[in-house]
Amino acid sequence: MIYAATLLGFMVTALLPTTSVLAKGAKTYGGTKPYTYEQQIRRGERVQPKLVTARRVYMGFIGDSLVCVYVGAKNSNEVIVTGRDDRCMGSMQVPYAPDPDFNWRKTIEVMKKDMD
CA atoms of 72 and 98, how far apart (whole Å) = 9
- Tell me the per-residue pLDDT of 47-60, one tens digit each, with 9 for 90 and over: 999 999 999 999 99
Q: What is the pLDDT of residues 9-58, one digit of tens each?
A: 555 555 565 555 555 666 667 777 899 999 999 999 999 999 999 999 99
Beta-carbon neighbour count of residue 86 at 10 Å? Answer: 11
So what's the pLDDT on residue 30? 73
pLDDT at residue 91 tops 90: yes
Any idea what the Cα angle at residue 39 is, between residues 36 and 44, rounded to 5°?
125
Closest Cα partner for 56 from 23, 12, 87, 32?
A: 87
Enumerate the domain spans of the chain: 51-115
pLDDT in tens, 67-79: 999 999 999 999 9
